[in-house]
Amino acid sequence: MSPRGWSFVAFFAAVAAAVALAWAGIRPPDWVFPLAVVVLLGFYVNGVTEQVPLYLSNRRTQQAVADLTPDVAGARIVDLGCGFGGVVLAVARARPGADVLGVETAPLSWLISLLRVRLSGLANARIEFRGIWNTDLGDVDFVYAFLSPAPMARLYAKVRAEMKPGTVFVSNSFEVPDEDPDEVLELDDRRRTRLLVWRM
């Protein structure tokens, strides 16, 4: 099962357990609720601080992004807000000569992506606990982001200021205000994913 699938299973299992306990008249220990809040914040803190909730790219999207990346040795590829690391892993497998970096600041998402990359054995994939605004894009060839509408204008300004000519920026689903993409790829998946592509 995919990490996204496990997250849904865990969520619904927790809800079902809470309902069952309440129905049975069993009061859980006092520490359960603060722990639940900490766990939720571990995944969704960026939704509060940056207006960027946890969105996960499905397998078809991961492959489509991998296909868009440059197939040249030494290419530097970054996933800004990499979630559980699915895109990082897909790209690293598809482009073994590339350096693929995922950055994430939601603690539990970062930990899951870090463990997945380390367990994968892929030497060309890395995960760092770092914010998107602290990630230098000056020597990056390809940037992918699946964030939310809120940061897109600021992110595009950063991309334009830092990325070199000939590089590529891809946003999953979310548009940049007043900036038409150079290309839009519509994927035939349940989400009807749209990959918006800008060439610098």
Closest CA to 53 of 174, 191, 146, 172: 146
Question: Is the separation of the CB atoms in 123 and 95 below 8 Å?
Answer: no
Closest CA to 37 of 25, 27, 45, 29: 45
Quote the CA–CA distance of 179 and 2 in Å, as a whole number: 34
Q: CB atoms < 10 A from the CB of 150, how many?
A: 14
Residues of the chain with pLDDT under 50: 1-7
Q: How much is the pLDDT for 35?
A: 55
Residue with the two structure tokens 């000569």: 97
Q: How much is the pLDDT for 103?
A: 97
Q: Which helix (H) or strand (E) holds 3?
A: helix 3-23
Q: How much is the pLDDT for 170?
A: 98
pTM equals 0.80
What are the tens digits of pLDDT across the range 45-99?
555 556 666 777 899 999 999 999 999 999 999 999 999 999 999 999 999 999 9
